[in-house]
Chains A and B, each alone.
Chain A
């Protein structure tokens, strides 16, 4: 939108709205507004992990993503473990989803593809208790994104286990302009020191918190902590208790930034029934 100085220098005849018209004595221009503010939605990121191979190695990430163990969570703290691409169930019998998320932005149902089909990313916590996992997106350019609260990160998560156990740690999201550090810095909100089983800062996450599978009930916080779904892969695919749930992060604070990275930080809990899983990660916003 032009500023007042530009308006002052603009001949009235060259403003499209007034072109061909003549102001008469006493006529006043009482307002100037941009014809259309934003309105163009842009997909900055979409990742369903489906093209990844399964395995435990830092290279099992989408192109230009990273989970190097030399990356920094906060201060000088590095992660302990890699996230892993997985299809079907996670190996442990009483945690993890039935399959990958189905890809819909409105439902947490499972994909209909076979056990060797679609993928998701998860933290294998068997034998790996109270460990840190850090996953980073590719570099994102939000320089044309409007600061009108339309820039959103959406992802689907599964943190389910048998109902009589809660051995989960926490899942958090951070932003930074460094490709090697998720520490709180100059843009958005990254991570700082631990506070219990999670870091003490991070982006605010709004997430579905019940089995309705329609977002009618949500919670908001800097982490998704503890067991969420009471269903897990043995529960099958017909119960919403084991469905994936949706999480949304408002990225308005990084709109206008030309270099931004999104970080997914997970910390395992005290037991093996605590696999933390994410799928169908997307970022959209208005330009």
Chain B
């Protein structure tokens, strides 16, 4: 899978929901792209959830 913007290979990572924001991380959990902040209660079931996702180092993730 290549990036429609820059043509480089997409990188496997996670789409994650933390206590403060939605973000894309690498497989080690390091922040790569912050999607947006949220105000979901800290005890909500979504906090801590993550799902496999592909992103590009150019910053694109939805292509």
Contacts and interface: CB of A to CB of B under 8 A. Distances in A.
B39 to A, nearest CB: 7
Interface of B: 15-17, 22, 35-36, 38-41, 44-46, 49-53, 60-63
B62 A126 contact: no
In the A-B complex, list the 6 residue pairs whose CB atoms are closest, starting with the nearest: A93-B15, A127-B40, A272-B46, A93-B51, A115-B62, A91-B22
A272 B45 contact: yes
Given A127-B41, A234-B52, A92 B46 contact: yes
Contacts of B49: 93-94
A214 B43 CA distance: 42
A98 interface: yes
A115 B56 CA distance: 14
B62 A99 contact: yes
Contacts of A271: 45
Contacts of B51: 93-94, 162, 234
Contact of A93 (B40, B44, B53): B53
Contacts of B41: 127
Contacts of B38: 91, 126-127
Interface residues of A, number: 17
B62 A93 contact: no
A85 interface: no
A127 B53 contact: no
Nearest to A98: B62
B11 to A, nearest CB: 15
B20 to A, nearest CB: 12
A234 B5 CA distance: 18
A233 B44 CA distance: 22
Contacts of B35: 91
13 contacts: A88-B62, A91-B17, A91-B36, A91-B38, A93-B49, A114-B63, A115-B61, A126-B38, A126-B44, A127-B39, A234-B53, A272-B44, A272-B46
A126 B15 contact: no
A98 B50 CA distance: 17
A98 B54 CA distance: 13
Nearest to B21: A91
B55 to A, nearest CB: 11
A98 B61 CA distance: 11
Interface string A85-120: 000110111100011000000000000001100000
